[in-house]
C-alpha cells in the first residue's frame, strides 16, 4: 500500500506539469492559403524552451512565411533551425518562461491538391522546463481539407473504394459452412449417450476371460 501511494505521489507532478503542442488553422480549398499557428501549452509549470519538428507532404501542401512567434528568441544552429524536404524545424527560448498557451510557430500553408493535407509535429519535438527536462506529453496533427467524393482525384498515398460494402471475394474459406460433426474414438461414449457396440463386446470378452482364469487358478489351489 505504501509503495502504491508513493507511486501516485511521484507520478502526479509529471502528469500535472505535462506540456503539449496544438495546431490552429482555418479551412482551405485547392489553391487557397491559410495561416497555421502552432501553440505551446505549458501545463501547470512554466516552460522556457521549445523545439518544433513539423512534417508535411510537399506534394499536397506548400508552406511559406515561416517564422517564430513574437516573444521567442530563435536558436539558429544546425539541427535546430531547418526548412527542407517537407520538414520545418524551429527552436526558441522564451525569456522568463511561459505559463499559458502561447503561439510558437507561424506559417502559411497553400493547398496544392484535393483531399486531405496532413501537418504533424514529430516525436523529436520537445518543450523544456526550468530544469531543461522535456515535459511534452502530447503532439498534434492538423488536417487541411477532407476526403473528396470517389469521382475526385486523390493524392497518390490515398485510395477510396467505390463500394461501402465489405469485400467477400477472398473470404471463401471463412464464409464456407463449418462441419460441426465430431468423430469420436471408438472407446468414447457418443454424443447421444449410447455406448459403442464393438468396444463393449471386446471389453466383455476380456472380463469373461479374466474371470475364467481366476476360477481355474482357485480350483487348482484347492486340489493341492
C-alpha cell at 168: 467477400
Q: What is the reported pLDDT for 147? A: 60
Q: How many helices (H) and strands (E) does the chain have?
A: 3, 12
CB 25 within 8 A of CB 15: no
Identify the helix (H) or strand (E) that includes residue 9: helix 2-16
Q: What is the reported pLDDT for 207? A: 72
Give the pTM.
0.60
pLDDT of residue 143 exceeding 70: yes
C-alpha 183/C-alpha 213 separation (Å) is: 36
Span 155-209, pLDDT tens digits: 444 433 333 333 333 333 333 333 333 333 444 334 344 444 445 556 667 677 7
| Domain 17-144: which CATH number of 1.25.10.10, 3.40.50.1370, 1.10.150.20, 2.60.40.680 | 2.60.40.680
Q: Where in the chain is the domain with CATH 2.60.40.680?
A: 17-144
187-215 burial, b at 16+ Cβ within 10 Å, e below that, comes to eeeeeeeeeeeeeeeeeeeeeeeeeeeee
Span 47-86, pLDDT tens digits: 999 999 999 999 999 999 999 999 999 999 999 999 999 9
**Mean predicted confidence (pLDDT) in 91-95:** 97
**Mean predicted confidence (pLDDT) in 140-162:** 58
Amino acid at each position: 500500500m505504501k509503495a502504491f501511494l508513493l507511486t501516485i505521489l511521484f507520478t502526479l507532478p509529471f502528469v500535472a506539469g505535462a506540456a503539449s503542442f496544438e495546431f490552429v488553422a482555418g479551412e482551405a480549398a485547392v489553391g487557397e492559403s491559410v495561416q497555421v499557428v502552432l501553440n505551446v501549452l505549458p501545463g501547470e509549470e512554466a516552460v522556457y524552451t521549445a523545439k518544433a519538428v513539423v512534417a508535411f507532404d510537399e506534394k499536397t501542401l506548400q508552406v511559406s512565411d515561416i517564422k517564430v512567434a513574437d516573444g521567442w528568441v530563435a536558436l539558429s544552429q544546425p539541427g535546430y533551425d531547418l526548412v527542407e524536404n517537407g520538414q520545418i524545424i524551429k527552436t526558441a527560448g522564451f525569456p522568463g518562461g511561459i505559463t499559458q498557451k502561447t503561439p510558437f510557430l507561424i506559417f502559411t500553408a497553400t493547398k496544392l491538391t484535393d483531399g486531405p493535407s496532413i501537418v504533424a509535429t514529430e516525436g523529436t519535438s520537445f518543450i523544456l522546463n526550468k530544469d531543461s527536462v522535456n515535459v511534452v506529453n502530447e503532439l498534434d496533427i492538423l488536417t487541411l481539407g477532407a476526403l473528396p467524393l470517389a469521382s475526385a482525384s486523390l493524392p497518390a498515398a490515398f485510395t477510396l473504394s467505390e463500394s461501402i460494402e465489405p469485400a467477400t471475394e477472398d473470404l471463401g474459406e471463412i464464409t464456407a459452412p463449418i462441419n460441426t460433426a465430431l468423430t469420436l474414438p471408438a472407446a468414447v461414449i457418443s454424443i447421444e449417450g449410447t455406448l459403442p457396440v464393438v468396444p463393449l463386446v471386446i471389453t466383455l470378452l476380456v472380463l469373461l476371460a479374466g474371470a475364467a482364469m481366476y476360477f481355474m487358478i482357485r480350483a487348482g489351489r484347492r486340489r493341492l
